[in-house]
Amino acid sequence: MRKQRISYVDPNQVSDAKMKKEFERCRDRGTPRPESQAIRAHAPATFWSFANTWQTVFHEGVCDHTIKELCRVYVSQSVKCEYCGNQRSIQSRQKGLVEDDYFDLLNFEKSTRYNESQKAALRYTEAIIWDLETNDILWENLYKYYGEDEIVELGYFVAITMGQQRWLKTLNIDHHKVLVGTDASMMPGAETPTAWEDHQKSSDYWAKKSHPNLKQ
């Protein structure tokens, strides 16, 4: 087991009523789940900076939430943040995303699962994550489906989630460690500590796969 590098703040010991309420939201709705916020809670300003930005840019905002959710998990699968990549937005599920929509993200260009607007957003995300050179074709295609407000929001969101995911991966945090018993926003098959361990051992576990942009 990888060693966790920063301790969790115990939500039950938090005295600030507003912060307690946010932990309750994490417990009930997830994305973010309690563990990551229990790290940020060491620095309350950081806790609220992330919570407020995540609410206004990810859960709300002008760009379709399901697009941002697909791009978020594309980032997870690219940087191999297992903590983030095994979460599913409850809001996206309510808006029609199903589990199979997450399985082919690293192969989105060749996949028939994604429509052209989704692929345009994923190409944009790919370029940001992998520092790829962009051309007129990418931008013209992006503008075909999205306004400048959506393009700005999506790019900002991808940058935030990429940095956060790389950081959380460095810390080796894990699920089912804070407010144990909540399965909020966990992907199917990882809702309990035992199921989560079995899921990671599976031969087809997504984190065992290599990204196409990585040299073999």
Q: For 86-113, write each residue's pLDDT tens digit.
A: 999 999 999 999 999 999 999 999 999 9
Helix segments in the chain, DSSP class H? 17-29, 34-40, 44-53, 65-79, 82-85, 90-94, 116-130, 136-145, 148-171, 193-201
CB 9 within 8 Å of CB 41: yes
Beta-carbon contacts of 98 under 8 Å, excluding residues fewer than 6 positions away, are: none
For residue 1, the model assigns a pLDDT of: 67
Q: For 131-177, write each residue's pLDDT tens digit.
A: 999 999 999 999 999 999 999 999 999 999 999 999 999 999 999 99
Q: Calculate the average pLDDT of the chain.
A: 94
For residue 213, the model assigns a pLDDT of: 72
Q: Inform me whether the pLDDT recorded for 192 exceeds 70.
A: yes
pTM for this prediction:
0.93
For residue 216, the model assigns a pLDDT of: 43
Q: Which residue(s) pair with 87 in the sheet? A: 186
pLDDT above 90 covers what percent of the chain? 82
pLDDT confidence band for 205 (50 / 70 / 90): confident
Q: Kindly list the distances between the CA atom of residue 159 and the CA atoms of 75, 128, 131, 163, 207, in Å, as whole numbers in the listed order.
A: 10, 7, 12, 6, 21
**Domains contained in the chain, CATH given:** 19-208 (1.20.1290.10)
Within 10 angstroms of residue 213's Cβ, the number of other Cβ atoms is 12
